[in-house]
Structure 1
Amino acid sequence: MMWLSDFGMLFIIATTVLYYLLPPTWRPWLLTAGGCLLLAHDSWTSVLVWTALLAWLALICGPGWRRHALVQKIGLAGLLIAFAGYQYAKAWQGLLPYLGFAFVTLKAWHLIAEHGTGAYRQGRMASSLSYLLFPPTLLVGPVQRYDAFRMEALRARWDSQTASRALERMLYGYCKIVLLANFLLANKLQSLHGLSTHVWLDTYLGLLAYGLDLYWQFSGYCDIAIGFALLLGMRVPENFNFPFAARSLQDFWRRWHITVSEWCRDFVFRPMFARSNNYLAASLCGMMVLGLWHELSPRYLAWGLFHGAGLGVVHLWSKYSPLAEKLRQYKAWRVASWFLTLQFVILSFALTSSPTIAEAISKLAILSGLHF
């Protein structure tokens, strides 16, 4: 990943220094230029794809269209088609992901859905571009709403204590990635894989290692992003909050990939639930969208359905079972809830860690004792 390279580290230092040397009115353009530089360093195809997306946003959000609602719907439909095409090309034609494209579409959705047309006429072109191309969160998020970003940019000031906390947070991220994921898990513990000669244990430990690697890598890069933004005097939302300590599936999704989960809750789950008044259907729909956002493939669709069904079952149990409220009073049940939630999440990794549905089913069969 870019932040571990010499270029990435020099970029962080140079951007921070220039940010405080420039007048506040120039800072959004510096952030925009920095984001463009990251795209160009990645590949020119990323630049072309982002240029097309920004041109579409300029067309939808720039002029003060008379038929505001219609243009808004056209803008969102265009985003959906573009993202579906991107995911299809990535999944079935083996194209490399364009840098940060999955995350910028969520930001673009925020801009169109919450602000609509005429935004650039209100003097927000610079802040909108810096929001979309914000270098700290360009690669892997977290995803922030535009209004929150704009307020943070307006009150950004240099503060030595804040800078110290920022560097500390970035160090946490580097330790997670370099020491825990790349050294301890990949180099040391990986050599133990397969030594037990027990198929069930090897399969389970493989999924556990996959989940830990995913968490340490992703949360580590988010720590670097949050620290980098804090160096610029700007706070961005947290993306992880000890997800493997969750005591229910709902609690897990309030702790794992928080900003994308909240986006899915606000723009998919809640509208669906408001129309259908069916929690299970809304959960299935929301998690299917979240799965396909990650990858347009049968395995991620199955992963979304798996989590959506789990959320529905847990909700029904909590709402309608007379035992649910009584059992929460006991520490043993709280421990059991944590354990069951963790096992459900680990089982779901069988779907995302396997290249095919058939292989995922084989792993689940081994873990369930149905494999002979």
Structure 2
Amino acid sequence: MVFSSNVFLLLFLPLFLSVYYLTPNKRRMRNYAILAGSYFFYGWWRLDFLALFAAVTVFNYFIGAAIGNAGVGQPRALRWTKIGVVINLGVLGYFKYANFGVSSFNDLVASFGFEPFSMTSVLLPIGISFYIFESISYIVDVYRGDAKATKHPVDFATFVSLFPHLIAGPIFRYKDLADQFEQREHSADLFGRGATRFMQGFVKKVIVADTVAPLADYCFSLTNPSTADAWLGTFAYTVQLYFDFSGYSDMAIGLGLMIGFRFMENFKAPYISQSITEFWRRWHISLSSWLRDYLYIPLGGNRNGNMATHRNVIITFFLGGVWHGANWTFLVWGAMQGFMIFIERVLGISGAPKQFRLVRWTITFVLVMVSWTVFRAASINDAWRMYQAMFFMKNIGGFTDPMLTKISGLQVGMLLLAILVVLVEGLREFGPRLKAPSQRVQTAAILVFLLPLFFLSIMKLSAQGYSAFLYFQF
């Protein structure tokens, strides 16, 4: 089940909210309602993977308890932590990388004339990257003493399964939400803010991302794209990815507010960044902070001189690419991110500029677009085909005829809207500080603009059917 579906909007969400608010708000009773709803939400896809999900949850609860009983920083606690991390990574590695590993091995042995190895294809459980990373952060935090091992299994199970963020993040940490499982605020104002945020994300996903998606898909499928085709396709995917993923995050944050949870922001206007370093402080913040705290810092961070720091940055982003998927394209993309940040560190480029500089922004945005090309491509060969068109001008005579037949006025309008959104975000960040609009103005804006767009999105969704989120594959 996904947020952008009629089943979720018209059936699951109204029923869940009804049950949730009819449940007494005492003794964590509403956590039971969330747990039941979240398991139903996940099990809607496949019941067998719901069993895997439950097993991972139970395992990590007891590992956390064992670490807590052993004592913070004690050798026995370290042994339990290593066991937990290794088994979690083993589960993730099997389901996410077994097919890739066998395929790569077969390509290698076939080049030497040997028979390929046969193995049944492994299906990737939805959301496994997110709930495994959250489980690892929990047991590591307990070992470090940053979080107490919970004595409430329902709280922990609810944390892992919390459906607003279960499928595609943000990646939460138990220590940040622990108090909210015990007590959280419920009010009409908070619910209204949550509903508004959900509608904003829904519009971003269905109206903008889904509209430009066919354009990006078609460009990346061309066997001989022109230079114009390749750049338009890359720009369309740049827009699609941001509005799709940030739209999901907005919906997750909005759903959280509707049931009293306050979640972290996952995006902060990333396309106004003036360096790749700044970009990663604004894009998928929950993942970049997770990689920093549980990979970069344990590797040594910046504690052992410049060379070690540069090495740790490159390793961290390379493994971040590996996390995204079992494809050589993601490995190359991760290496590109690490290398670009390495170059910025060598050049002394600041990751937090205090004023807007057009040249720095332009260079950064182009580099981000270029890196998204290999991220989107189905293979290294497909990415190379796009890069040849983009930079070697293999076919420079404008858009190809098939491409012209695919471009619609609505898609062009959405691309222009995306540019306007980036400009507004830049003005908000670097322009004059304006007084926030009054509650009356905000309410009027919702009634005049957001609600009609939301209902238009529902009609569009009904017409186009199922609409998956891009980050479901990770």
TM-score, normalised via structure 2 length:
0.70
Q: How does 1:1-372 map to 2 (within 5 A)?
A: 2-9=2-9, 10-23=11-24, 24=26, 25-63=28-66, 66=70, 67-89=76-98, 91=100, 95-116=122-143, 123-183=151-211, 185-186=212-213, 199-272=226-299, 273-274=301-302, 276-277=304-305, 278-318=308-348, 334-369=357-392, 371=394
Q: Per-residue deviation at 1:18? A: 2.3
What's the Cα RMSD here? 2.9
5+ residue gaps in structure 1?
none
Say if 1:291 and 1:303, in contact at 8 Å, map to a contact too.
Answer: yes
Of 261-270 and 152-161, the range deviating more from structure 2:
152-161
Per the alignment, residue 469 of structure 2 pairs with none
CA distance in 1, matches of 2:216, 2:340: 31
CA distance in 2, matches of 1:90, 1:173: 34
Say if 1:62 and 1:117, in contact at 8 Å, map to a contact too.
Answer: no
Say if 1:90 and 1:97, in contact at 8 Å, map to a contact too.
Answer: no
Superposed CA deviations along residues 216-269 of structure 1, whole A, max 9, x for unmatched, are 111111111110010001111111111111111111011111101110111112
Per the alignment, residue 433 of structure 2 pairs with none
CA distance in 1, matches of 2:169, 2:315: 23
Say if 1:65 and 1:71, in contact at 8 Å, map to a contact too.
Answer: no
- For the residue of structure 2 that corresponds to 1:4, the secondary structure is coil
Cα gap change, 1:186 to 1:304, in 2 (>3 Å): closer
Larger-Rg structure: 2
Of 174-183 and 44-53, the range deviating more from structure 2:
44-53
Q: Per-residue deviation at 1:145? A: 1.4
Say if 1:65 and 1:117, in contact at 8 Å, map to a contact too.
Answer: no
Q: Per-residue deviation at 1:53? A: 1.3
**What amino acid does structure 2 have at the position aligned with 1:86?**
F
- For the residue of structure 2 that corresponds to 1:62, the secondary structure is helix
CA distance in 2, matches of 1:297, 1:188: 23
- For the residue of structure 1 that corresponds to 2:260, the secondary structure is coil
Say if 1:72 and 1:116, in contact at 8 Å, map to a contact too.
Answer: yes
CA distance in 2, matches of 1:351, 1:307: 12
Cα gap change, 1:108 to 1:329, in 2 (>3 Å): closer
Say if 2:61 and 2:156, in contact at 8 Å, map to a contact too.
Answer: no
Which protein, 1 or 2, shows the higher relative CO under an 8 Å CA cutoff with sep ≥ 6?
A: 2
CA distance in 1, matches of 2:359, 2:90: 43
Cα gap change, 1:163 to 1:121, in 2 (>3 Å): closer
**What amino acid does structure 2 have at the position aligned with 1:100?**
G
The number of residue pairs the alignment matches comes to 362
Say if 1:177 and 1:217, in contact at 8 Å, map to a contact too.
Answer: yes
CA distance in 2, matches of 1:3, 1:95: 26
Percent identity between matched residues is: 25
Q: Per-residue deviation at 1:89? A: 3.5
- For the residue of structure 2 that corresponds to 1:42, the secondary structure is coil
Q: Per-residue deviation at 1:90? A: 5.7
**What amino acid does structure 1 have at the position aligned with 2:280?**
W
CA distance in 2, matches of 1:79, 1:191: 38
Of 230-239 and 269-278, the range deviating more from structure 2:
269-278
- For the residue of structure 2 that corresponds to 1:237, the secondary structure is coil
CA distance in 2, matches of 1:305, 1:282: 12
Q: Per-residue deviation at 1:294? A: 0.7
TM-score, normalised via structure 1 length:
0.88
Q: Per-residue deviation at 1:46? A: 1.8
Superposed CA deviations along residues 6-49 of structure 1, whole A, max 9, x for unmatched, are 33123222222322322332122222111211121011232132
Superposed CA deviations along residues 280-316 of structure 1, whole A, max 9, x for unmatched, are 2111111111111111221111101011000110111
Cα gap change, 1:221 to 1:95, in 2 (>3 Å): farther
- For the residue of structure 2 that corresponds to 1:2, the secondary structure is coil
**What amino acid does structure 2 have at the position aligned with 1:8?**
F
CA distance in 2, matches of 1:49, 1:194: 35
Say if 2:216 and 2:234, in contact at 8 Å, map to a contact too.
Answer: no
Say if 1:248 and 1:338, in contact at 8 Å, map to a contact too.
Answer: yes
Q: Per-residue deviation at 1:198? A: 7.6
- For the residue of structure 1 that corresponds to 2:34, the secondary structure is helix
Of 204-213 and 16-25, the range deviating more from structure 2:
16-25
